[in-house]
Chains A and B, each alone.
Chain A
Amino acid sequence: MPNRIPVVEKILSANDRLAAENRARFDAAGVFAINIMASPGAGKTSLIEKTVAALKDRLRIGMINGDIATSFDADRAAAAGAAAVQINTGGDCHLDAVMLQSALPQLDLSALDLVIVENVGNLVCPAEFALGTHKSILVASIPEGDDKPYKYPGMYRGVDAVVINKIDLLPYVPFRLDFFKKGIEALNPGVTQFELSCRTGEGLEPWLNWLLAQA
């Protein structure tokens, strides 16, 4: 006779437990950690380069890069002045708490103030896997189009800040900023937003100040 057992358990709860362990490690070391997510090419590494270059005299910064195969992005962050670690996900579409946990020993957390995790370029999967970082940040960029909050609501729902990058391209690309922002406001009311260009440096200041205030 089959017998029904009620379970009602979140399917990714094991990942959430490991994320809590990662968080505890960051906290124990007094490190502020952020998870940067975006579609491929939105400017995650560019933002990290600019951030590291601007803040490296005030904060000791580590960078963990999740990439399907290469170490280009970790090399760029290292060149900007961060202690950088590469995680090759070997085809996985996101970082998860286990991958982060196994990368952490490669960084001396006690010698760092800020750890920036660059997630795999993807607008769906990373949102589902908590890493244990203190804040998650979504980088959107003008050439991706203004309909992205509507198409990828899950990604916009859970983040603590949205960085709208490549505003230098606004004159050249059709992009309804108000339509885009309405979508963000509906999905994530009151979320912190920055409009900037990693290319020209316009708008970077508020982002850097926000980070400094947290770290």
Chain B
Amino acid sequence: MHELAVAESILEIAVRHAKGQNAQKITDLYIVMGAWSSVVDDSLQFHWDLLSDGTIAKGAILHFKRIPVELLCLDCGQSYAPSSRDLLCPKCESVKIKVKTGEEFFLEAIEVE
């Protein structure tokens, strides 16, 4: 997995935004993660703790907002969550679908002092 690369990116983005506002310390980070986007596991926190040590983000807490996948059938307008066995529209079995949510992977906000 690639939790180290993800932790590095989060740190770079957060520190850049915090310094842009002359903040002294980052206390919290809010990460939005769709179910179909990045796969990160508990080792992210481990990498984060190591990487952020000695930076203005030391000790900051990572908060995750997980967004479920929501699909929209372009034929009948049905919104639905895909099941583990099927992606197709449960109402009309169309394959014409649009992914409404679930592909997000971004840093939404930080809290600073």
For B105, the chain A residues whose CB sits under 8 A away are 10-12, 128
8 A-B residue pairs with Cβ-Cβ distance under 8 Å, sorted by A, are A3-B112, A5-B17, A7-B106, A11-B6, A11-B9, A12-B6, A157-B36, A182-B95
When the two chains form their complex, are residues A150 and B85 in contact, meaning their CB atoms are under 8 A apart? yes
When the two chains form their complex, are residues A3 and B13 in contact, meaning their CB atoms are under 8 A apart? no
User: For the complex, what is the distance from the CA of A97 to the CA of B31, rounded to whole Å?
Assistant: 23
Q: Which residues of B contact A (CB under 8 A)?
A: 1-2, 5-6, 9-10, 12-14, 17-18, 21, 23, 27-28, 31, 36-39, 69, 82, 84-88, 95-97, 99, 103, 105-113
When the two chains form their complex, are residues B87 and A187 in contact, meaning their CB atoms are under 8 A apart? yes
A11, A13, A183, A185 — most chain B CB neighbours (10 Å): A11
Q: Report the minimal beta-carbon distance from B96 to chain A, rounded to whole angstroms.
A: 7
- State which of A5, A147, A149, A186 has its C-beta within 8 Å of the C-beta of B23: A5
For A5, the chain B residues whose CB sits under 8 A away are 17-18, 21, 23, 109-112
Q: Determine chain A's interface SS by DSSP, over half rule.
A: mixed
Q: Report the minimal beta-carbon distance from A97 to chain B, rounded to whole angstroms.
A: 10
Give the total of A residues in contact with B, Cβ under 8 Å. 36
The contact string, 1 if C-beta is below 8 Å from chain B, for chain A 91-104, is 01110100000000
Interface: A171 (CB within 8 A): no
When the two chains form their complex, are residues A189 and B87 in contact, meaning their CB atoms are under 8 A apart? no
Q: Report the minimal beta-carbon distance from B3 to chain A, rounded to whole angstroms.
A: 10
CB-CB nearest in chain A for B33:
A11
